[in-house]
């Protein structure tokens, strides 16, 4: 199979493939998604096969608008309207209990709930509209590896396995959406996966406490939401997390052991330690926003440099730092450098 690169003028062609049961990757503000028509069971099954994704890991359904969700859901949390008004389109996925047999069971991995998101990307919204049906859209990569934030990442992992990729440039956020469970109208909303829409932002907008599920799922367990596995997003090269006060010790240790080190490096790190780095993925500045945007692309790039270890900076787990550290900890299999 030849994987075609579609541009904005070719959305109609890409949509036709999806209507007929083919797979087309699409851009979003978070990461690239692997699109299949959510109403076609065989197409959705192909997503799991192509990614090598465990069948117990549910998928997110991408919609054009909230009206599309109402085709599949008839009982809503009382906060739903406010949440949708304030955060859609955007990097927030909402879990609803769906009508019986409203979507193929493979979409939900057999659960009674389904995750929905309205992405904030004009090309993908136009694609969904042209298809006339919602699209499942897990990250368009080999399962367990760093998520794709550029179309080139998708092509690297899935060339020859899918029909096409809708080109949308680099993603702007770089980590997957926040997943908020509002499937039980009698319970407070609960974050199952952190993302760019933070607990603080939700609480400020909704004026209610937001719960956070801290449970990490082992490989043998079935998750309630994508992104809950204990180890995930990992390159082949071992990743270690480094606290800001430990960089000197980390580089001295690596040098004394003659290890080749790749680094997700801020401008300050590049200035201080460039002579001790074998390979560098430059972050644009010192902020967690830059680190989150560059995380997956950096892990992928450094994985190609034949280094022994990848060092990545630790950030405070507040705001976007919660989502960044959630992904980094899984990529590093929870391993911090210890002086």
Residues 310 and 263: their CA atoms lie apart, in Å, by 6
Residues 6+ apart with CB under 8 A from 235: 145, 146, 299, 300, 302, 303, 310, 331
Check whether 30 is labelled as a binding-site residue: yes
Exposure pattern of 221-250 as b/e (b: 16+ CB <10 Å)? Answer: eebbbbbbbebbbbbebebbbbeeebbeeb
Residue 90 φ/ψ region, left for φ over 0, alpha for ψ in the -120 to 50 degree band, beta for the rest: left
Check whether 139 is labelled as a binding-site residue: yes
Report phi then psi at 262, rounded to 5. -105, 145
**Strands across the sheet containing 261-265:** 239-242, 309-313, 261-265, 279-282
Check whether 233 is labelled as a binding-site residue: yes
Check whether 53 is labelled as a binding-site residue: yes
Check whether 117 is labelled as a binding-site residue: yes
Stated as kind and residue range, the H or E segment containing 250 is: helix 247-256
Check whether 153 is labelled as a binding-site residue: no
Check whether 57 is labelled as a binding-site residue: yes
In the structure encoding, which two tokens stand for residue 34, read together? 């692997």
In the structure encoding, which two tokens stand for residue 258, read together? 């003659």
Residues 6+ apart with CB under 8 A from 251: 261, 273, 276, 277
Check whether 287 is labelled as a binding-site residue: no
Check whether 55 is labelled as a binding-site residue: no
Stated as kind and residue range, the H or E segment containing 158 is: helix 151-158
Known binding positions: 30, 53, 57, 62, 113, 117, 139, 147, 177, 193, 233
Known binding positions for L-threonine: 30, 62, 117, 177
Known binding positions for ATP: 53, 57, 113, 139, 147, 193, 233
């Amino acid at each position: 199979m030849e994987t075609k690169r579609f541009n904005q003028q070719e959305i109609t062609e890409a949509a036709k493939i999806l209507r007929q049961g083919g797979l087309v990757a699409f851009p979003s503000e978070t990461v690239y998604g692997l699109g299949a028509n959510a109403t076609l069971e065989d197409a959705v099954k192909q997503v799991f096969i192509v990614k090598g994704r465990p069948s117990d890991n549910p998928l997110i359904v991408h919609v054009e608008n909230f009206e599309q969700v109402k085709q599949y859901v008839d009982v809503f949390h009382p906060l739903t309207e406010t949440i949708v008004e304030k955060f859609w389109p955007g990097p927030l996925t909402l879990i609803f209990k769906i009508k019986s047999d409203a979507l193929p069971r493979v979409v939900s991995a057999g659960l009674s709930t389904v995750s929905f998101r309205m992405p904030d990307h004009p090309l993908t919204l136009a694609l969904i509209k042209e298809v006339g049906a919602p699209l499942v859209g897990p990250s368009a990569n080999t399962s367990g590896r760093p998520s794709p934030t550029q179309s080139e990442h998708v092509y690297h992992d899935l060339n020859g396995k899918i029909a096409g990729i809708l080109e949308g440039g680099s993603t702007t956020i770089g980590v997957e959406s926040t997943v908020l469970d509002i499937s039980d109208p009698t319970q407070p909303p609960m974050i199952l996966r952190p993302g760019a829409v933070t607990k603080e932002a939700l609480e400020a907008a909704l004026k209610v406490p937001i719960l956070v599920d801290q449970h990490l799922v082992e490989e043998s367990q079935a998750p309630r939401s994508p992104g809950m596995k204990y180890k995930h997003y990992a390159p082949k090269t071992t990743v270690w997390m480094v606290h800001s006060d430990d960089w000197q010790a980390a580089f001295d240790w690596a040098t004394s052991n003659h290890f080749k080190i790749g680094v997700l490096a801020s401008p300050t790190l590049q200035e201080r330690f460039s002579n001790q780095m074998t390979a560098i993925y430059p972050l644009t500045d010192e902020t967690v926003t830059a680190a989150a945007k560059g995380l997956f692309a950096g892990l992928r790039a450094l994985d190609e440099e034949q280094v022994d270890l990848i060092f990545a900076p630790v950030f405070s787990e507040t705001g976007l730092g919660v989502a960044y550290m959630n992904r980094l900890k899984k990529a590093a299999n929870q391993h911090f450098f210890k002086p």
